[in-house]
Copies of this chain bind each other. A is one copy, B any other.
Amino acid sequence: MNDQQPVQLRVGLAQVDTAVGDLAGNADLVRTWTAKAAGDGVHLVVFPEMTLTGYPAEDLVLRESFAHASEHALVDLATQLADDGLGEVAVVVGYLAHTEGSGPAPVDQPPTDDDRPGDANPRRGAPRNAAALLYGGEVVARYYKRHLPNYGVFDEARYFVPGTDLPIVRLHGVDIALTVCEDLWVERGPCGVAGQVGVDVVCSPNASPYERAKDDLRLPLVRRRAAESKAPILYCNQIGGQDELVFDGDSLVVSADGELLARAPQFVEHLLTVDLSFAPTPADRTQGRVGGLLVTRRLISDEPVPPFEPRPSTIVKPLSDHEEVWRALVLGLRDFIDKNGMPSVVLGLSGGIDSALVAALAVDALGPDRVYGVGLPSKWSSEHSLSDAEDSAKRLGLHYSVVPIAPMVEAYEKSVELTGVAGENLQARVRGTLLMGLSNQHGHLLLATSNKSEVAVGYSTLYGDAAGGFAPIKDVPKTLVWELARWRNDEARRRGETEPIPQNSIDKPPSAELAPGQQDSDSLPSYEELDAVIADYVDRDLGLAQLLERGHDAAVVAKVLRLVDMAEFKRRQSAPGTKISLKAFGRDRRLPITNRWRETPPTVREGAAT
C-alpha cells in the first residue's frame, strides 16, 4: 500500500420500498438494486433498516418462526448475491436477528450490579434489530442496534434486546463501521466509540418516518455524528407506506467535516452514489471494550480498489411543504392499496372538498381506471352537490355512478323512529352500507374521506362516512385540506393540465348536508380556530392553562377539548372487549395490517364474509 496514495471507495445508498413480512420479495429487491449498484461501479451499498423483514414488523418480531426465517433469508441472500456474480460488492442489509434461548429469562433474572434496572421482558430468544455486511457470499459482520427508540410510533423496547458490540470490517483498506438508525441520535453512543477507535466510514440504515414540519432535523444530526465519528456517514432511509406510516427516503451522505456530499430525492426508490477517498490508515487500530461496547475488527482486504476518476454527486433540494405532504399522502395510499393486493378503490363523492381531494389523491396514486366514485344524493343535498361531484369525476376521469339514498332512508324511517342526530346519522350509514356493498360486490377498497379536524372532534358518523379500509386524509386538518387543493390545482395549471379539483368545492362553505341548510359552522368553531387548538392540544399535548396562555379563545378551547376527549371512543371504532386470555385481539396483539408474512402457501383471498 502506497502511503501517499489516497484510498478510494464508491458507495451507494439504495433507498428502496420494502414490504413488511415479504422476506423473499425484499431479498429480491436487494439483489435487483445491488445489481444496479454493481453496474454503476459501486463497492459498498447500504440498504435501509430491517430490509429483509420490512419495518415496522410489530409483533411479528415476537414470532419465532418468522425470526428464524429472517436469519435463513440473510444467509441465503449472501449466497444468492454471490451466485448473481455480485459477491464483490459489499452489501449492508437490515434484518431481524434471533438467538435461540439467549434472551432474558421470563421471570427472576440475573442480578444487576449497576444503577440501572434489569429487563424483565419475557420475550423468547433474543430478537435484535440487526444489520449485516455481506461480501463474497458470506455474512461477514453482524451489528445489533444498541439504542432502541420506545416513544412516539416506536416500541422497540417491546421487541428487541440491545446490542453490545461494534464490529468494524476492513475492506479494500477502508474501515467500515455498522450502526442502525436510533444509534445516530445519541451522543457518545456507537458513533462516539467509532470516533475513539478510528473508522473510515459509518453505515447507517434507517427507517425514519416522514413527519410534516419536522424541519430538517436529519442533516444537523448526521453532521454532529460525522464529527463525533471523524468519518463520513452513509444515512440510508427507506421509502414507502406501511399502514399509517410513510417513509420519505431523503438519504444523505455527510463528510467527516460536516459537508453535505449527496442527498437523494424524497418518496421515490433511488440509488444515491458518492465517491469517497480516505488517507490510508494502519490495519491494527484499537479493538476491545470501549465506552460500553466491545469493538471487534475483521480484515477482509487491505488492498485499495484500483484508482478511478471521482464523479460529482447529486444533492437534491427538499420539496416544498405542500408538495411534500401531497407526495406523502399519494405514496401512503398507493402502497396501502398495492401491498394489500387491492385492485381498485371506491369512494362517495359529495361535491365537498374532502371527497374531491381524496379522489384527486387516489387518481394520482392509482390512475383513474382504478378509482370508482359514487354520488349518493339525499333530499337535503343541494343542487351544487351533485354537479360538483360530477365535475370532480369528469376532471379526474374516474368511473362515476349515482345512487340516490331516499328509498333506503324511507324504508328505515317507516320501521323505526329516528329523529334529530339519529336521523342525520341514518343517512350517513345508508351511504356507508351502499359503498361497502359495492366494495364487497366488486372488490374495491372503500376510502373514507374524513379529515383530521373531523376525526379529532368526532364530527362524523360511525359506520357511515367514517367507514372504510383506508382514510387518506385522516391526518390532514381541514385548513390544510383547502391549502392542498389550491396547491394541486396550481400545480396542474403550471403543468398545463386540467385542474383536478372543482373550484366550487374549494370555495363553498363546508356542510355535512344531513339536515336542511346545515353548515359545519353551526356545530363547530371556525376551522382556523379549531385546527389551531387541535395542533396545540393533540400534537403538542398542552394543557388548558398553556392553551389559554397561547391566546386561544377560552370558549373555543372549552368546546374543542370536550369534543376531543369525548371522541376518543369513536376514533377507536373497533369495539373493545374484556380480555381474559394470554392474547386478546386488542392492545396485546399488535400486528401490522399490511403484512405479507404467510406460513402457508399463497392463495387467493378466501370467502370469509368481509
Contacts and interface: CB of A to CB of B under 8 A. Distances in A.
A598 B561 CA distance: 8
A425 B448 contact: no
Contacts of A608: 457-459, 523, 563, 566-567
Given A574-B573, A600-B562, A245 B579 contact: yes
Contacts of A116: 114, 116, 162, 292
B472 A578 contact: yes
Contacts of A110: 187-188
Question: A115, A150, A414, A609 — which one has the most chain B CB atoms within 10 A of its CB?
Answer: A609
25 contacts: A64-B541, A65-B542, A110-B187, A112-B291, A116-B116, A117-B146, A118-B186, A121-B149, A122-B151, A243-B576, A244-B576, A245-B587, A332-B578, A421-B440, A432-B463, A448-B575, A452-B585, A461-B609, A461-B610, A469-B569, A474-B584, A475-B580, A475-B586, A561-B599, A562-B598
Interface stretch (A31-39, A46-54, A208-216, A496-504): A208-216
Contact of A565 (B123, B424, B598): B598
Given A333-B578, A609-B514, A568 B541 contact: no
A610 B568 contact: no
B570 A186 contact: no
Interface string A207-237: 0011111000000010010000000000000
A158 B147 contact: no
B415 A408 contact: yes
A588 to B, nearest CB: 5
Interface in A122-169: 122-123, 146-153, 155, 157-158, 162, 164
A538 B64 CA distance: 13
Contact of A437 (B121, B292, B426, B607): B426
Interface stretch (A8-16, A278-286, A485-493, A589-597): A589-597
Interface stretch (A92-100, A308-316, A543-551): A543-551
Question: A149, A438, A441, A593 — which one has the most chain B CB atoms within 10 A of its CB?
Answer: A441
Interface in A408-451: 408, 410-412, 414-422, 424-426, 428-430, 432-434, 436-438, 440-441, 448
Contacts of A112: 188-189, 291-292
A332 to B, nearest CB: 3
A325 interface: yes
B164 A147 contact: no
Contacts of A243: 576, 587
A66 interface: yes
Contacts of A421: 440, 607, 609-610
Given A416-B437, A538-B583, A571-B574, 16 more contacts: A109-B186, A113-B291, A115-B293, A151-B158, A157-B157, A244-B586, A245-B587, A429-B436, A462-B467, A462-B610, A463-B463, A467-B575, A468-B575, A512-B609, A539-B582, A562-B600
Contact of A561 (B111, B437, B463, B600): B600
A102 interface: no
B436 A433 contact: no
B587 A568 contact: no
Contact of A152 (B440, B441, B588, B606): B588
A221 B107 contact: yes
A527 to B, nearest CB: 15
B578 A475 contact: yes
A568 B593 contact: yes
Contacts of A598: 561-562, 565
A185 interface: yes
A372 interface: no
A429 B433 CA distance: 6
A391 to B, nearest CB: 23
Contact of A158 (B108, B150, B441): B150
Contacts of A448: 575, 577
A415 to B, nearest CB: 5
Nearest to A452: B585
B430 A417 contact: no
Nearest to A537: B599
A490 to B, nearest CB: 20
Contacts of A109: 186-187
B246 A580 contact: yes
Given A155-B155, A463-B436, A608-B523, A471 B576 contact: yes
Interface string A337-364: 0001000000000000000000000000
